[in-house]
Amino acid sequence: MRAFTYHNPTRIEFGQGKEKLIGQYMAEYGVKKALIVYGSDRIKQNGLFHSVVNSLVENSIAYETLGGVVSNPLLSKVYEGIEIAKTRGVDAVLAVGGGSVLDSSKAIAAGAKYDGDVWDFFIGKGFPKQALKIFDIMTLAATGSEMNNYGVVTNEMTREKLSLAGPTTYPTVSVINPELQATVANDYLAYSASDIFAHSLDMYLSATYLPEYMAGYVENILKTVMRTTELLLADSTDYNARAEFAWAATQALNFTTFCGVENNRFDTHFLEHTLSAEYNIAHGAGLSIIMPAWMKWQKQHQPQRFERFAKIMFGVNGADAGIDALKTWYSKIGAPVTLKEGNIPETDIPMLTDKLQAVAKLWGAEALYTRDMITGVLENAK
């Protein structure tokens, strides 16, 4: 195993009804005034917003609100939140929603304690040394944002989708009540499964050294996601399946999978973020298109890992059979697997390659993400 540091300070409150205790959790950390960030007004119709506000009031926590966060969340909305936080004496951000809402909230929390432009943190000009306290109630399981410090936001002016992260942007308390995640539509459930798969497979299929322990650990996450996705597509009210799906999502990106591995990369996320920034498709849908295409390119670098994946996950022999089986499974659950299925014009491949090269340059990763590699993967997605 390779050397590593593991330190994840987030407290998880998992289970039915725990959102009703959010005010109590926040009061434990001395919160006086929160900015509630959310997406659509659905949470006002289904009573969640009401429960949350009640809990804050009961615990003498004042609040401001910011609704309207969208999928592939926008920098302009983050600026709006920072303005509210700065001018109205907010000391914590409470995200009520999915990964987009929480990621926006992380950016707001960091920007509220920063004199410059919060976008600095996304383009590598330092990292947030201070931030407001972050709390969340997750209504969708996918991004794992509830137990990590990453926040992904799209700058709609430049059409760049980038991330910030710092020691201060871990949530203080994350509430996961699987019941609140039970109304997700089947297509979004499939996209979520694809997102969790990508968090796991990016590492599993790229690491140049993968401890046997970690291989088994990640395979257990993948198997859980496959099993519970199928159970939930058959019966959306299956609480235990919903709960295991949610917990697998959290584990897939709380950095436990990185412990002791060498050179794990994040290729499909790197490639996908430009797709969803450009075409505003769901992140998980972009990933189910990119993943098999990337695997066809990556298999040459990790032939044994791909054979193991094929055998253990699908009981088939050989890298290609494993890739095909995953593609078939994505189709079965309703996730797109080609550019065409994602309504992405194949003729855009040269333009996308240019864009991705520019991002690679920003990351100092041009040697890894060459034109040949990027075009090759996108061509595989035809």
Residue 2, interface with a second copy (CB under 8 A)? yes
| CA atoms within a 13 Å half-sphere pointing along the CA-CB vector of 6 | 12
Site for a second copy in 172-191 (CB under 8 A): 178
Residue range at the interface with a second copy (CB under 8 A); choices 48-56, 89-97, 131-139, 214-222? 214-222
Size of the site for a second copy (CB under 8 A): 35
Distances in whole angstroms, Cα of residue 97 to Cα of each of 52, 123, 286, 377: 12, 26, 21, 33
Residue 262, interface with a second copy (CB under 8 A)? no
Q: What is the dihedral of CA 364, 367, 373, 374, to 10 degrees?
A: 20
Residue 311, interface with a second copy (CB under 8 A)? no
For residue 218, the minimal CB distance to a second copy (Å) is 10
For residue 7, the minimal CB distance to a second copy (Å) is 4
How far apart are alpha carbons 339 and 378 in whole angstroms? 8
Q: Based on CB atoms, which residue is closest to a second copy, 9 or 68?
A: 9
Residue range at the interface with a second copy (CB under 8 A); choices 77-85, 98-106, 120-128, 237-245? 237-245
Instruction: Evaluate whether 24 touches 55 at the Cβ level (below 8 Å).
Output: yes
Q: DSSP for 333-356?
A: HT---STGGGT--GGGHHHHHHHH
Residue 129, interface with a second copy (CB under 8 A)? no
Residue 18, interface with a second copy (CB under 8 A)? yes
Residue range at the interface with a second copy (CB under 8 A); choices 68-76, 156-164, 179-187, 217-225? 217-225
Residue 170 Cα to chain centre, angstroms: 14
For residue 90, the minimal CB distance to a second copy (Å) is 24
Q: DSSP for 28-89?
A: HTT--EEEEEESSTHHHHSSHHHHHHHHHHHTT-EEEEE----SS-BHHHHHHHHHHHHHTT
- Pick from 182, 233, 259, 365: which binds a second copy (CB under 8 A)? 259
Residue 304, interface with a second copy (CB under 8 A)? no
Residue 9, interface with a second copy (CB under 8 A)? yes
Q: Based on CB atoms, which residue is closest to a second copy, 239 or 363?
A: 239
Residue 216, interface with a second copy (CB under 8 A)? yes
Residue 5, interface with a second copy (CB under 8 A)? yes
Q: How is residue 74 written in tokens?
A: 């926008």
Per DSSP, the three-state class of 275 is: helix
Residue 115, interface with a second copy (CB under 8 A)? no
Residue 247, interface with a second copy (CB under 8 A)? yes
Cβ contacts of residue 39 below 8 Å, gap of 6+?
Answer: 67, 68, 69, 70, 97, 98, 100, 101
Q: Where on the chain is the footprint of a second copy (CB under 8 A)?
A: 1-16, 18, 178, 211-213, 216-217, 220-221, 223-224, 227, 240, 243-244, 247-248, 259-260
